[in-house]
């Protein structure tokens, strides 16, 4: 049985090809249903996203001397109806605080926040602000304790 062909050689009854996604985010969203959901640190649609934060200090040799790990409710949620993979934005910062008498302390703060494709910029901004506020509070507390001694 003969097959009718289009001018480009494809069969006439073949469905038209879909246009490729314009961005990497659109490509990821298009194939999201086929990628299994990440098991840890993921919120369900409509529930708040929970981030994992670590706060501690580091000594001169780079050894972590104290770490506090905590779960932080971000107030952000996954988009309605979203089913698919969730990435993580990790942001951290450290600073060196002079305690006087040739002694220093290096506090650090790090947070890992899950996000759905397309929302990473907002999540990064939130993580940046959270880390900055937390680290500023720690540094101010250290300076107040040192100057008050």
CA separation for the pair 75, 129 (Å, rounded): 14
**pTM for this model (two decimals):** 0.63
CA separation for the pair 56, 34 (Å, rounded): 39
Tokens for 41, please give them.
């640190």
Q: Give the residue from 50, 118, 111 showing the smallest Cα distance to 84.
A: 118
Q: Please state the domain extents for the chain.
A: 46-147
Distance of CA 100 to the CA centre of its chain: 36
Q: Give the residue from 92, 90, 133 showing the smallest Cα distance to 110.
A: 92
pLDDT at 26: 61
Predicted confidence (pLDDT) per residue in 56-83, tens digit: 888 777 777 777 888 888 877 777 777 7
Question: Would the pLDDT of 93 be above 90?
Answer: yes
């Amino acid at each position: 049985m003969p097959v009718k062909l289009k001018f480009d050689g494809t069969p006439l009854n073949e469905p038209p090809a879909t246009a490729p996604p314009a961005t990497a985010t659109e490509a990821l969203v298009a194939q999201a249903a086929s990628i299994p959901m990440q098991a840890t640190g993921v919120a369900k649609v409509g529930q708040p996203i929970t981030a994992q934060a670590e706060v501690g200090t580091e000594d001169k040799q780079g050894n972590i001397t104290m770490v506090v790990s905590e779960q932080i409710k971000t107030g952000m949620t996954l988009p309605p109806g979203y089913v698919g993979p969730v990435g993580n934005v990790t942001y951290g910062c450290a600073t060196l605080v002079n305690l006087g008498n040739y002694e220093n302390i290096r506090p650090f703060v790090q947070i890992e926040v899950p996000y759905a494709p397309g929302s990473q910029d907002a999540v990064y901004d939130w993580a940046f602000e959270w880390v900055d506020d937390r680290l500023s509070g720690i540094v101010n507390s250290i300076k107040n304790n040192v100057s008050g001694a």
